[in-house]
Amino acid sequence: MPEQAYAPEDLTPDGYARTTPSQVIDVRETGLRETNRILQESDGTGRYLLTEPRGAHALAVGLDHPDEIVIDGPTGYYTAGMNDGAHVTVNGNVGVGVAENMMSGTVRVTGSASQSAGATAHGGLLVISGDAGARCGISMKGVDIVVGGSIGHMSCFMGQAGRLVVLGDAGDALGDSLYEVHIYVRGRVESLGADCVEKEMRPEHHTELGELLDRAGVTGVTTGEFRRYGSARTLYSFDVDNASAY
């Protein structure tokens, strides 16, 4: 648990008036399979508080209804994997692959995330208040990711679609082999990967970024503090003269 543990009532996923949970599940007592089964069979109106996650892997995965789930404590790999509509908040840190292949919904992490956060996700919103490790947004396919802290190396590798917003710094080889993701970074970029270039912030990008920051609940920053990065599209078709770029 992070020192600054938030009470679930303090967390406000977009569009939801937070009320007390309708069901409290002790993950350690209930077990992973039963916990996931309860969540997967919920009708979309549930408000669940999951206690004692104790770093459990594959917790709250495969959810396809707009229930609200607050996980009070740190989780392991693939938290909220393949989420398709649920609103999941982790009150703590998460392991590898949080919200991997998310289709829709919201996943919020109050702490930091390990590697491959939001990997291959097709939609929805992933908000990480702390830092994210290497390969954040790898092969992302339409998801929006907002990271309050910094991200590690090889982030957005082969990113296909969606938006990645970083309030802190980005590690080496940002956006390597990038397709069509829009990347916005407020801090320093260690280096850009192959075919990733800085691009002009035009008015529509300020608008797009502003909306993302609003949806993520980020305040106190302006879009003018960010730089935009995208694909130079020179590697879209193989050209032998570009062979050294790979």
Partner 1 sequence: MPFDGHIRSDQATHAQIPAGVDDPTLRESATFPRSVIHEIQRAAATGIYDIRGWGAKRKVPHFDDLLFLGASMSRYPLEGYRERCDTDITLGTRHASKPVHLDIPVTIAGMSFGALSAQAKEALGRGASAAGTSTTTGDGGMTAEERGQSSTLVYQYLPSRYGMNPVDLRKADAIEVVLGQGAKPGGGGMLLGQKISDRVAQMRTLPKGIDQRSACRHPDWTGPDDLTIKILELREITGWEKPVYVKVGATRTYYDVKLAVKAGADVVVVDGMQGGTAATQDVFIEHVGIPTLAAIPQAVQALQEMDMHRKVQLVVSGGIRSGADVAKAMALGADAVAIGTAALIALGDNDPRYEQEYRALGSAAGFYDDFQDGRDPAGISTQDPELARRLDPEAAGRRLANYLHVLTMEAQTIARACGKSHLTHLEPDDLVALTMEAAAMARVPLAGTDWIPGRAGREM
**Residue 78 near partner 1 by CB under 8 A:** yes
Distance between CA atoms of residues 156 and 126, nearest Å: 14
Minimal distance, residue 222 CB to partner 1, in Å: 31
Strand partners, 24: 49
35: left (phi over 0), alpha (psi -120 to 50) or beta: alpha
Q: How many residues does the chain have?
A: 246
Q: Which residues inside 13-42 make contact with partner 1, applying CB under 8 A?
A: 32-33, 36-37, 40
Distance between CA atoms of residues 81 and 149, nearest Å: 22
Minimal distance, residue 74 CB to partner 1, in Å: 15
Residue selected from 8, 46, 97, 193 as contacting partner 1 according to rule CB under 8 A: 97
**Residue 199 near partner 1 by CB under 8 A:** no
Residue selected from 62, 168, 187, 217 as contacting partner 1 according to rule CB under 8 A: 62
Options 20-28, 45-53, 96-104, 192-200: segment touching partner 1 (CB under 8 A): 96-104
- CB nearer partner 1, residue 55 or residue 187: 55
Strands (E), the chain: 23-26, 47-51, 68-72, 84-90, 104-109, 125-128, 141-147, 161-166, 182-185, 196-199, 227-231
Minimal distance, residue 196 CB to partner 1, in Å: 16
Minimal distance, residue 92 CB to partner 1, in Å: 18
CA 33 to chain centre: 24
Reading the block at residue 188, the tokens are 């320093």
Size of the site for partner 1 (CB under 8 A): 41
Distance between CA atoms of residues 61 and 18, nearest Å: 22
- CB nearer partner 1, residue 58 or residue 218: 58
Tell me whether residue 152 is exposed, middle or buried, using C-beta atoms within 10 angstroms of its C-beta: 0 to 12, 13 to 18, 19 or more. buried
Residues 6+ apart with CB under 8 A from 152: 115, 131, 132, 133, 134, 135, 136, 171
Residue selected from 161, 194, 197, 232 as contacting partner 1 according to rule CB under 8 A: 161
**Residue 236 near partner 1 by CB under 8 A:** yes
Strand partners, 196: 231
Minimal distance, residue 126 CB to partner 1, in Å: 13
Which stretches of the chain bind partner 1, using CB under 8 A?
Answer: 32-33, 36-37, 40, 57-58, 61-62, 64, 76-78, 81-82, 84, 96-97, 100-101, 103, 115-116, 119-120, 122, 135, 138-139, 141-142, 157-158, 160-161, 179-180, 236-238, 240
